[in-house]
């Protein structure tokens, strides 16, 4: 009976995961209209309510950390390998994003509506990733020694280092309470305008390779479809705003795009 319930639950989640992929692809196709309106793309109007950036990032990212943590406490015995994978990747990322990035950001106030949508996304995604890795995935004993697992983890850590370093560079372009945009330099910003996004995309690709599952691949596709167009629009913003913007710099992929 318990197995039958799990199968039904997993079938439902598969539908949600395909939904995640479709939302990502729809965003990619309609990127001009569907740009998330926050940061430099914010649409200011008296109807748009905003929240301080630190509070917004903290509240919206927290569910992706908290929900898998709660799932770990359930009586349902978690897969040991799934638990390790979750701790080494997803948890680590969302710990950094919730308790470090959020509390240090110098971003401008964040639209309440975008914060609520992002919080909803983080809750659903946190549940899907956590539930799959802890309760559904079946990893054999050799998983941690296979090439795919190790190369995936390596890519994840490399991506996270690029993402954290690039966000650090962006943060330090501003003095406290200053809201201006300057040309970022150093690290991978010498090659692309969206260095933080490149790092984040590499992270989730590495996570997908290491866990080799529908939930992780869906999340990677979603992140790519969301951050790719955003990197393009940031790049265009810099080119329009700064005449001296480096000509050789690309939007997202060094030397190519």
Ligand X SMILES: NC(=O)c1ccc[n+]([C@@H]2O[C@H](COP(=O)([O-])OP(=O)(O)OC[C@H]3O[C@@H](n4cnc5c(N)ncnc54)[C@H](OP(=O)(O)O)[C@@H]3O)[C@@H](O)[C@H]2O)c1
- Nearest approach, Cβ of 55 to ligand X (angstroms)? 13
Say if CB 207 and CB 89 are below 8 A apart.
Answer: yes
**Residue 22 lies near ligand X (rule: CB under 6 A):** no
**Residue 225 lies near ligand X (rule: CB under 6 A):** no
Q: Rounded to an integer, what is the distance from CA 177 to the centroid of its chain? A: 25
With tokens 């090659």, the residue in question is 191
**Residue 184 lies near ligand X (rule: CB under 6 A):** yes
- Nearest approach, Cβ of 120 to ligand X (angstroms)? 13
Binder among 60, 89, 98, 105 for ligand X (CB under 6 A): 105
**Residue 196 lies near ligand X (rule: CB under 6 A):** yes
CA distance 137 to 217: 14
With tokens 């080799």, the residue in question is 212
Binding to ligand X in span 159-178, by CB under 6 A: 163, 167, 170-171, 173-174
**What is the SS3 assignment for 193?**
coil
CA distance 136 to 82: 9
Q: In terms of Cα–Cα distance, which of 231, 181, 216 is closest to 31?
A: 231
- The contacts of residue 113 (CB under 8 Å, 6+ apart) are 48, 49
CA distance 38 to 53: 10
**Residue 102 lies near ligand X (rule: CB under 6 A):** no
- Residue number closest to ligand X, CB atom: 107
Taking the least distance from each CB to ligand X, the nearer of 13 and 200 is: 200
**Total of residues contacting ligand X (CB under 6 A):** 23
Q: Which residues pair with 250 in a beta bridge?
A: 192
Query: What CA–CA distances, in Å, run from 139 to 79, 84, 135, 241, 251?
Result: 8, 11, 11, 50, 37
| Span interacting with ligand X, options 10-18, 27-35, 80-88, 103-111, rule CB under 6 A | 103-111
Taking the least distance from each CB to ligand X, the nearer of 58 and 143 is: 58
| Span interacting with ligand X, options 133-141, 179-187, 210-218, 246-254, rule CB under 6 A | 179-187
Taking the least distance from each CB to ligand X, the nearer of 230 and 235 is: 230
**Residue 223 lies near ligand X (rule: CB under 6 A):** yes
Query: Would you state the structure tokens that stand for residue 237, as one six-digit string?
Result: 């913003």
End-to-end CA distance of the chain: 52
**Residue 13 lies near ligand X (rule: CB under 6 A):** no
Taking the least distance from each CB to ligand X, the nearer of 16 and 144 is: 16
Binding site for ligand X (CB under 6 A): 39-40, 105-108, 163, 167, 170-171, 173-174, 179, 181-182, 184, 196-197, 200, 223, 226-227, 230
């Amino acid at each position: 009976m318990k197995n039958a319930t799990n199968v039904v639950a997993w079938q439902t989640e598969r539908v949600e995961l395909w939904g995640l992929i479709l939302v990502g692809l729809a965003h990619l196709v309609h990127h001009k209209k569907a740009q998330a309106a926050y940061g430099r793309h914010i649409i200011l109007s008296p109807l748009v309510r905003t929240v301080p950036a630190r509070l917004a990032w903290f509240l919206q990212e927290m569910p992706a950390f908290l929900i898998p943590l709660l799932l770990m406490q359930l009586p349902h015995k978690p897969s040991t390998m799934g638990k390790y994978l979750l701790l080494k990747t997803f948890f680590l990322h969302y710990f950094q994003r919730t308790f470090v990035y959020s509390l240090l950001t110098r971003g401008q106030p964040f639209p309440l509506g975008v914060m609520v949508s992002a919080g909803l996304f983080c809750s659903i995604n946190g549940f899907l990733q956590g539930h799959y890795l802890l309760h559904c995935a079946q990893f054999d004993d050799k998983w941690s020694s296979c090439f795919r697992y190790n190369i995936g983890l390596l890519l994840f850590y490399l991506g996270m280092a690029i993402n954290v370093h690039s966000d650090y560079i962006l943060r330090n372009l501003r003095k406290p309470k200053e809201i201006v945009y300057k040309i970022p330099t150093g690290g991978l910003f010498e090659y692309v305008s969206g260095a933080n996004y490149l790092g984040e995309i590499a992270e989730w690709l590495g996570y997908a390779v290491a866990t080799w599952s529908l939930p992780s691949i869906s999340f990677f596709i979603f992140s790519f479809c969301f951050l790719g167009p955003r990197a393009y629009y940031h790049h265009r913003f810099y080119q329009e705003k700064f005449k001296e913007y480096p000509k050789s710099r690309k939007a997202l992929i060094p030397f190519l795009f």
